[in-house]
Structure 1
Amino acid sequence: QAAAASAPLRGGPPVEREIVADKLGHKAPGKFAYVSVISNEKYVDGAIVLALSLYNKSALLQQERCELALLIPDSLHDDSIARLRAAGYHQLKRTEESLASLIPESAWKDTFDKMYLWSFVEYGMLAFLDADMLALEDPDSVFDYQIPNASYIGALGSGDKKYFQTGMMTIIPDRDIFDALIAHFKAGVARKEFTGLNARDGQVVRS
């Protein structure tokens, strides 16, 4: 178990790579951040491992040209918060209201809180990774992809199908887009568009 500490638990050799933020200054104003989301205590360890792997591989994080942020539930224990800060998270942002409560029958209900990513407006661009992922090489090139505006998402697609994975995305936070997504989700729940065991966040952001 990682102990709480005043300094981040970082390790690994420095990455020799051109700093992406220098090239991206003209694309999206503000800071860049790697972000993840956890819904309960069970995902704390995964979020810590993700953070340490990113610090090991990301030149932007190592040279403090990028931040690491995490969306957390309001119920997270203080000792878990201390461990996450020790792992290097610059910002721990609590959910305003978990959207899981609006669709309790879904096995993937906690994924709907990913829509809160668009509320991180203090950042110019986010690279989102699920908390069960691991950085095996320098991931900073994800910030190289040009996203026209906040209504677009950078993600892996599936050929000609209107589908993309939400396990890893690059987005431009925007309060208007966030408000529109939340309104779209709540209206869809009321119309029973987003229902059932397999309902998940991707259905909302793709529609």
Structure 2
Amino acid sequence: MSDGLRPEGPATDRRAFVTLVTNADFARGAKALLRSLRLTGTTADLVVLHTGGVGADDLAPLRARGARLVQTELLPTSRDFNAAHAREALHGAAPFTKGEKPAFHTPLDNFAKLRLWQLDYERVVFLDADTLALRNIDALFDYPEFCAAPNVYESLADFHRMNSGVFTARPDPATFDAMLARLDSPGAFWRRTDQTFLQDFFPDWHGLPVTCNTLQYVWFNLPELWSWEQIKVLHFQYEKPWQDHAKAERLRVLIDLWRAYEGDGPVPDLAHLPNPS
């Protein structure tokens, strides 16, 4: 394993679903994600990259759900880079106006997901810890690098921008080194952190269908795109399903679905869930 990563045990498959956990809140999200992935029938490794901001008590449920835990250092970025991408500086220069970022969100941590290119796997599918896999997505391991879905949640104009909550990758130390060299170049500023950087690094990214990364705001902004029969990955962008927030009642069906996966009981049959009103 490469410098900056400390795994708990060896890989057991050449393929892995990978997520990143940087605090207790995202550990709670990952707990639901891990169960959702395993319920799809996948036999790929489930990997949780975790930073020093996650305590042992928060990691224990992830280990219990079959995750291979890999302690992950933050990237060795410069002081100027860190200052530009600190929460207050980033959100001041590029404010979020469409949704509410939770208080635990630390933008600089997002770049740690680039360390998945150092992992000891041939093929990886990354999923943010605030996603759920509703159907088997093993086919994504056969997709090329780099595939991601467009960032669609408000209008057709969203299709020009990718969302980095779900993507395919091929771990390679040379790719990781090239990423570091570009990431922290003089004056670099990545408006939406890893998402902006990855779209720049992979300008010819292959587009996945929105069903592979359906953002929760589609529920009320673009209800005609919603299809329980087709959605493979549901992504709780902006407000999280384990929070109390102003949009909770509008998203109640999705939040209740997430809570079912977080727990140990039965999960709803998607065919019986209501569609957006």
- What is the CA–CA distance in structure 2 between the aligned matches of 1:123 and 1:84, rounded to whole Å? 20
- What is the CA–CA distance in structure 2 between the aligned matches of 1:171 and 1:56, rounded to whole Å? 23
Match of 1:200 in 2: 193
Partner deviation per Cα, 1:97-155 (whole Å, 9 max, x = no partner): 476845212243332222112111x100101111010111112121232x2xxxx3111
- Please tell me whether residue 71 in structure 1 is matched to residue 49 in structure 2: yes
TM-score (norm 1): 0.69
The aligned amino acid for 2:42 is L
Are the equivalent residues in 2 in contact too, given 1:41–1:80 (CA < 8 A)?
yes
Gap regions ≥5 residues in structure 2: 1-12, 92-106, 201-277
Displacement of 1:163: 3.4
- What is the CA–CA distance in structure 2 between the aligned matches of 1:168 and 1:96, rounded to whole Å? 20
The aligned amino acid for 1:201 is D
The aligned amino acid for 2:116 is L
Match of 1:43 in 2: 26
- What is the CA–CA distance in structure 1 between the aligned matches of 2:33 and 2:14, rounded to whole Å? 20
Aligned-pair identity in percent equals: 28
- 1:58-97 matched pairs, under 5 angstroms: 59-61=41-43, 66-97=44-75
- What is the CA–CA distance in structure 1 between the aligned matches of 2:70 and 2:193, rounded to whole Å? 23
The aligned amino acid for 2:131 is M
Are the equivalent residues in 1 in contact too, given 2:21–2:48 (CA < 8 A)?
yes
- What is the CA–CA distance in structure 2 between the aligned matches of 1:95 and 1:162, rounded to whole Å? 32
The aligned amino acid for 1:34 is F
Are the equivalent residues in 2 in contact too, given 1:54–1:135 (CA < 8 A)?
yes
- What is the CA–CA distance in structure 1 between the aligned matches of 2:23 and 2:82, rounded to whole Å? 14
**Which of 79, 82, 90 is the matching residue for 1:106?**
90
**Which of the pair has the greater relative contact order for Cα pairs under 8 Å at 6+ separation?**
1
Q: What secondary structure sits across from 1:166 in the alignment? A: strand
Give the number of equivalent residue pairs. 162
Are the equivalent residues in 2 in contact too, given 1:194–1:203 (CA < 8 A)?
no
Partner deviation per Cα, 1:76-103 (whole Å, 9 max, x = no partner): 2111222210121023232254768452
Q: What secondary structure sits across from 2:179 in the alignment? A: helix
- 1:156-171 matched pairs, under 5 angstroms: 156-157=149-150, 163-171=161-169
Pair 1:96–1:113, CA change in 2 (3 A): closer
Are the equivalent residues in 1 in contact too, given 2:22–2:53 (CA < 8 A)?
no
TM-score (norm 2): 0.53
- What is the CA–CA distance in structure 1 between the aligned matches of 2:76 and 2:20, rounded to whole Å? 12
- What is the CA–CA distance in structure 1 between the aligned matches of 2:51 and 2:141, rounded to whole Å? 27
**Which of 145, 148, 155 is the matching residue for 1:155?**
148
Q: Please identify, of 136-145 and 155-164, the stretch whose mean Cα deviation from structure 2 is larger.
A: 155-164
Q: What secondary structure sits across from 1:74 in the alignment? A: coil
Q: What secondary structure sits across from 2:42 in the alignment? A: helix
- 1:8-27 matched pairs, under 5 angstroms: none
The aligned amino acid for 1:35 is V
Are the equivalent residues in 1 in contact too, given 2:21–2:51 (CA < 8 A)?
yes
The aligned amino acid for 1:194 is F
- What is the CA–CA distance in structure 2 between the aligned matches of 1:169 and 1:131, rounded to whole Å? 13
The aligned amino acid for 1:155 is A
The aligned amino acid for 1:116 is R
Pair 1:123–1:201, CA change in 2 (3 A): same
- What is the CA–CA distance in structure 1 between the aligned matches of 2:130 and 2:76, rounded to whole Å? 20
Match of 1:9 in 2: none
- What is the CA–CA distance in structure 2 between the aligned matches of 1:33 and 1:93, rounded to whole Å? 16
- What is the CA–CA distance in structure 1 between the aligned matches of 2:26 and 2:82, rounded to whole Å? 19
**Which of 108, 129, 132 is the matching residue for 2:130?**
132
